[in-house]
Amino acid sequence: MHEPVMVAEALEHLAPARGGLFVDCTVGYGGHTHALLDAGATRVIGFDRDQDALAHAGRTLAEHESRVDLVHSDYRRLNEVLDARGVTAVDGLLADLGVSSMQLDEPGRGFSFRRDDPLDMRMDRTSGPTAAEAIRDADERTLADVIYEFGEERHSRRVARALVDARTRGAVETTGQLADIVRRAIPRKGYSRIDPATRTFQALRIWVNRELEGLDAFLHGAASRLAPGGRMVVITFHSLEDRIVKHTLRAIQSEGTSGLTVRTKRPMVPTEAEVDRNPRARSAKLRAAERHTAE
């Protein structure tokens, strides 16, 4: 079962007991939205680019149906979606980035090398090329750059070469094929706790979903939508994303135009008890910011 990450910490910063309008930019299966509504948020607008996730969230949130507005959209279209609803300011905003554990586990999605599935990897299956198509169409240099940049894989060139070689023998169409190609391309030195395919899978997922693109512009837009006293919380799961969030929140604070103050000097991390209960929480980092109340 999917368990939302760092709920107590997110609620501590978002303070939904004040009531008001909240945006959950990554509603997923509805865990955080449910907690916000239970804790006093008046209404939540919930975004997700994955229609299956939204259908599930609809069921999870059925008891609060009249207070939730679920939107199939990329959160990078936040301003457009709020404008269309006549919303100028929100009291709180949450973004719990990345893929959900249910997306990872769900058969047929192609995110995980733990099962053999068609190599899709799109969070939004209504648009964009699949990972198989992206691998088929990219040149070797692009593949190497993607695997290096988004996977921080030292052997990115070898992996890219192996993918291009494999392509000459037939399409790379399943997670099983991809995992085999990567594992064979990476030199084994002793025992490693993590599967050598992990970094390449992460890289391709970030690339296919353009996960880092426009994250800074989204955070600027989000900050400018906060009502005075409004709060925002961002939870990340890998260092590339956390770095962007940290630098962008600091930059917005220094610019001074949105009146934003960062509330977390260092990121909050889950408690040991949470990680014991839910090992997927282990890499989570939470950062929060607040817009000053009007002078």
Ligand X SMILES: C[S@@+](CC[C@H](N)C(=O)[O-])C[C@H]1O[C@@H](n2cnc3c(N)ncnc32)[C@H](O)[C@@H]1O
CB of 207 to ligand X, least distance (A): 13
Q: Which residue of this chain has its Cβ atom nearest to ligand X in the complex?
A: 28
- Smallest distance from ligand X to CB 175, Å: 18
Q: Output phi, psi for 88, to 5 deg.
A: -100, -35
Residue 159 C-beta: closest distance to ligand X, Å: 25
Whether the CA torsion 82, 85, 91, 94 is positive or negative: it is: negative
DSSP for 187-230, written as a single string: PP-S--SS-TTHHHHHHHHHHHTT-STTHHHHHHHHHHHEEEEE
Residues 127-156 that bind ligand X (CB under 6 A): none
For ligand X, the closer CB: 57 or 178? 57
Partners of 285 in beta bridges: 236
Residue 100 is a binding residue for ligand X (CB under 6 A): yes
Instruction: Give the Å distances, CA to CA, from 67 to 23, 59, 187, 231.
Output: 12, 14, 53, 20
Q: How far is the CB of 7 from ligand X (least distance, A)?
A: 8
Question: Of the candidates 90, 32, 94, which has an alpha carbon nearest to the alpha carbon of residue 291?
Answer: 90
Tell me the pairing of strands 226-236 and 285-291. Answer: antiparallel
**Beta carbon nearer to ligand X, 31 or 221:** 31
130 or 177: CB nearest ligand X: 130
CB of 216 to ligand X, least distance (A): 13
Kindly write out the interface string for residues 19-58 of this chain, putting x where it contacts ligand X by CB under 6 A and - elsewhere.
-------x-xxxxx--------------xxxx--x-----
Q: How many residues bind ligand X (CB under 6 A)?
A: 21
Please give the Cα distance from 137 to 120 (Å, whole number).
14
Which of the residues 2 through 21 are near ligand X (CB under 6 A)? 2, 4
Nearer of residues 53 and 166 to ligand X, judged by Cβ: 53
- Which lies closer to ligand X via its Cβ, residue 32 or residue 155? 32
**Least gap, CB of 63 to ligand X (angstroms):** 16
Q: Given candidates 16, 20, 46, 98, which one binds ligand X under the rule CB under 6 A?
A: 98
Sheet (strand 21-24) strand order? 68-72, 43-48, 21-24, 90-96, 226-236, 285-291, 260-262
What is the footprint of ligand X within residues 64-93 (CB under 6 A)? 74-76
Q: Which of 79, 68, 75 is nearest to 25 (CA)?
A: 75
What's the min distance (Å) between Cβ of 250 and ligand X?
22
Between CA 251 and CA 220 the distance in angstroms is 9
- Would you say 74 or 274 has its CB closer to ligand X? 74
**Least CB distance from residue 118 to ligand X, whole Å?**
18
Q: Which amino acid is at 185?
A: A
Binding site for ligand X (CB under 6 A): 2, 4, 26, 28-32, 47-50, 53, 74-76, 96, 98-100, 123
